[in-house]
Amino acid sequence: MKNVVTLLLLAGFSYSGIAQKINVKEDSIMLSKIYSESLTNGYAYDDLRILCKDVGSRLSGSLGAEMAVKWGYQTLKSYDFDTVYLQEVMVPHWVRGNKEKAYLTEENGKIHPLNLLALGGSVGTNGIISGEVILFKTLDDLRNADKNVVAGKIVFVAQPMDQHFPAAFNAYGNGFEVRGSSASIAAEKGAKAVLIRSLSLSENDFPNTGVMNYKEGIDKIPAAALSTNDATALEKLIGSSSQQLMVYLEMDCRMLPEIKSYNVIGEITGAKYPKSIITVGGHLDSWDVSESAHDDGAGIVHSMESVRLLTALNYKPQHTIRVVFFMNEENGNRGGKAYANIAKEKNENHIFAIESDEGGFTPRGFDFDGSDKKYTFIRQFLPLFQPYFIHQLDKGYSGVDITPLKSQFSNVGLFGLVPDSQRYFDIHHNANDVFENVNKRELQMGAASISALIYLLDKYWGEE
């Protein structure tokens, strides 16, 4: 602790917008109280259990999403916010329909059921379709393929997430295009449907869904993700066999007209700078195949718990602190865009925003997207976090929901909570993302870390 004190005492705060020099002793005591309150008297785990078990999946436009809005509103009302309200947003309404079914058949008569999920936004098959399955090891292989080879076939893109990346989210970003673009590329070459390997770093029987996109002017074909176990088996079977392999596929998914939904917002008015806003949030919607405990139930409870911890410790913020449960992050980001647009229309002053959307695992730090001035400012806080094993405070990506604020408020500083990511893609967008796979202490540490960051930002940044 002596080294921490020395580092912080030597840190000069000469930038405009910073209220005062750091008080190491006072801040160390406050952070200790925040973490202690979260770990011994936290609400996050119980709130997450209710969201997961009583509400469940909450895909935009669904009854589950509507119930999640009601739950979010009532839960925020039960805490000490000055005001709680709903912000209207129109969202897409895609439905999965009856459970997808698919089979692989060999010429010798063997039949293999396939574990798969339709990708979000995909069209259905309009009954049963069948076709010879053709393998492409990478998306680029498909992109470069001859149309005559692809036409009339069911395409299988076997490209995996890249295991070389130490940070799992870098591997996800590297493979994101496979999910998003395979259908349109295959359709341009006359394919009947496309299958991809699920975006996961582990081998399991649980396929991962997620949003895909169709290119304007190209026929829409069905798109689905195979479990990694089935994808590996299929790739080996195609590679070792000269026989014709057929896939039979039935998907009932479809897009319905847009529907009205809401962001849920609670705020505490700042005592000194009420017009300057610090936003903290996660997304309330989810995919439809699980309870979505990590993605993003954890972010929802992180957000409201981070503010509750401060009120429980009788901290009175200088700036207005706003908790936002964003709707429709998964397949449109309508909530994030609406929030930023309405904020601009109201001529609000947004100085910082924090998002939690990488799960409820052990927190490691924050990624920051903002000016060099603000980056230098927030780096001064890192030694205060070290006793809590928070070591990362680097420039990077913040989050889907808060990124639209950048286009409306050029000086806003954006943070994304960074938990340990190694297990995240074992459960991401699949049936394993349930409450039982969230560790209570890890979740509570995440809430405390966000709360500590809000406290420091609020205390030491003035008014822009």
Roughly what angle, to the nearest 10 degrees, separates helices 24-41 and 440-460?
Answer: 150
- H-only helix segments in 51-167: 63-78, 139-143, 147-150
Q: How far apart are CA 393 and CA 414, in angstroms?
A: 12
Q: What is the reported pLDDT for 21?
A: 76
Beta bridge partners of 135: 156
Q: What is the reported pLDDT for 4?
A: 41
Q: What is the pLDDT of residues 30-67, one digit of tens each?
A: 999 999 999 999 999 999 999 999 999 999 999 999 99
Q: Give yes or no: 329 in active site.
A: yes
Q: How far apart are CA 77 and CA 378, in angstroms?
A: 31
Residues in the chain: 464
- Confirm if 19 and 318 have CB atoms less than 8 A apart: yes
Average pLDDT over residues 213-236: 96
Q: How far apart are CA 22 and CA 19, in angstroms?
A: 9
Q: What is the reported pLDDT for 239?
A: 87
Among 2-6, 240-244, 272-276, 438-442, name the one with the lowest average pLDDT.
2-6
Q: What is the reported pLDDT for 269?
A: 98
Q: How far apart are CA 377 and CA 229, in angstroms?
A: 47
Write out the two tokens for 327: 């709707």
What's the pTM value of the predicted model, to 2 decimals?
0.94
Checking if the pLDDT of 202 tops 60, the result is yes
Q: What is the reported pLDDT for 98?
A: 95
End-to-end Cα distance, the chain: 33
- Spot the catalytic one: 329, 330, 355, 358: 329
Coil, strand or helix: which one is 256? strand
In this structure, what DSSP letter does residue 440 have? H
Q: What is the pLDDT of residues 241-264, one digit of tens each?
A: 778 999 999 999 999 999 999 999
Give, for 448, the enclosing helix (H) or strand (E).
helix 440-460
Determine how β-strand 392-395 pairs with β-strand 363-369. parallel
Checking if the pLDDT of 15 tops 50, the result is no
